[in-house]
Amino acid sequence: MLHLRPSQEQDQALMDAIRTHGPIPKGHLTAINRVRCHLQLFFLADITTGDGQTIHHSYLHSSTVNIKSQWEWHSECPCPSDYRLWHRYVSSLLNATSTLHQPLGAWLTKSHLHWRWFYSRSTDRIYELIDNTWSLYDRLPHVTRSSIKFSLVTTSPCTPFNIVSTTVQVLSPELIIWQGAVSSLDYYHLPESTVTPDPVFWVLKECHILNHRHQEWLLNGLSDGTLWCVCDG
């Protein structure tokens, strides 16, 4: 069994965040969850911009997102009406100024997503990671605070230092708009988002069958059908 840790300060499970803003019909929850699983999302941080302030535009208006999770997910096939409900309820996470009701803070763990975009304050560069190759983007001069643009300058196989996760809006293969970043530890110093408990018999942790808590008994029981393993998910 894996224990999941929030990705950022003030982060929470995405479905929990959606449910906090009022009652939702069961059919709507099912549709929203179908899209969430198809997109392989778990945390609110998965869909938030790098500055932790709002929802990335691709999750508000699109049905196609290229980033995938490192975890294994079951297959889902959302229909157009599912996406309409998804966009409606994800939009409810934002207030009248299009920012999150509770913005997210510093990164606490690495994301379970195959993150592509990173920012370095020491070099003021944005880095994109694809297939072990880093693309380097430099800030363009004479840009406004609401539209900070970076352009592609080179590629390198060398891993950059002092980087934090960020997000961007891609304008072209060589031009992006930066969406900010929160102050955090270097990405490579962050722990993983999952923790695996040591005991293999975690399922019996709270039960009273203390004399049977050993691996052989558990495996034999599951094999013989005398012990059932259930899951709430």
- Structural domain includes residue 42: yes
Sign of the alpha-carbon dihedral angle for 191, 197, 203, 205: negative
- Structural domain includes residue 14: yes
217 and 176 in a common domain: no
**pLDDT reading at 61 higher than 90:** no
- Structural domain includes residue 104: no
184 and 124 in a common domain: yes
**pLDDT reading at 217 higher than 60:** yes
123 and 181 in a common domain: yes
Please, which residues have CB within 8 angstroms of residue 192's CB and are 6 or more apart in sequence? Answer: 109, 110
205 and 185 in a common domain: no
Tell me which residue of 80, 21, 11, 73 sits closest to 46, measured CA to CA.
11
- Structural domain includes residue 103: no
Beta bridge partners of 119: 126, 164
81 and 55 in a common domain: yes
Tell me which residue of 59, 64, 56, 58 sits closest to 99, measured CA to CA.
56
**Total of domains in the chain:** 3
User: pLDDT by residue (tens digit) across 131-177?
Assistant: 999 999 999 997 776 789 999 999 999 999 999 999 999 999 999 99
Q: How confident is the model at residue 233 (pLDDT cuts 50, 70, 90)?
A: very low
85 and 125 in a common domain: no
Question: What is the domain extent for residue 26?
Answer: 3-91
Q: How confident is the model at residue 73 (pLDDT cuts 50, 70, 90)?
A: very high
160 and 217 in a common domain: no
Distance CA 14, CA 164 (A): 22
Question: Is the pTM value of this prediction over 0.85?
Answer: no
